[in-house]
Amino acid sequence: MSKIAAIVGRFLIALIFVISGASKLMDVASTETLIVSSGLPGGLAIPVGLFELIAGLCLAAGFMVRLVSALLILFVAATILFFHNKFTDPAQQIAALKNLAMIGGLCMAFAHSQMWSHYYAITRERRGELEARNADERIRDAELRAARAEARADAIAENQTAPTYVETRPRAVVTNYNHDGVPDVRSRHRRWFDW
């Protein structure tokens, strides 16, 4: 459930940046005027709009969340310093607080993505430990079976005397028992009806 909540929260924070970046790219002239009026150099409207759009899409998709979150935290902090720094004005104060809340949400996205990557690392490590333990158990079982087989072979070798008979296949004897001119093949050991 916490994973779903993190995805929804990340998507909603990313939506702010996607819409803001797209609106900056659609109205480059007024964005450029706003940037220059705050004392920053001109020509930043398109890079800022692209950055917001791409970073928002990456955040929504869950692609490089920690890096994107850190970059967006710096970006939002810079907007507070350059655009919403008149804290006596109630509108600027509300905008600064909104940006601080966004920084908080981005910090949560940063931390949550780290927690899940840590969780996945722990899961991978645990899976590796289980596979190693299963392999050790299989090796132990194989060694135990080999030791039992060796013990059985030693017991048989100690208790068994030399064989008193040698097993051979009986030789075939060719005779013509019914006198029809066709040789009959019979076992060397005759059955009771051969007598």
In a domain, 144, yes or no: no
In a domain, 27, yes or no: yes
In a domain, 40, yes or no: yes
In a domain, 160, yes or no: no
Specify burial of residue 8 (Cβ count, 10 A radius: 0-12, 13-18, 19+): exposed
Average pLDDT, the chain: 80
Give the global pTM: 0.57
- pLDDT tens, 92-110? 899 999 999 999 999 988 8
* pLDDT of 192 above 80: no
In a domain, 68, yes or no: yes
- pLDDT tens, 148-163? 888 888 777 777 644 4
Please say whether the beta carbons of 189 and 172 come within 8 A: no
Please say whether the beta carbons of 110 and 70 come within 8 A: yes
The boundaries of the domain holding residue 124 are 2-128
In a domain, 180, yes or no: no
How far is residue 8's CA from residue 70's CA, in Å, rounded to a whole number?
Answer: 19
Specify the number of domains making up the chain.
1
Whose tokens are 């993505």? That residue is: 113
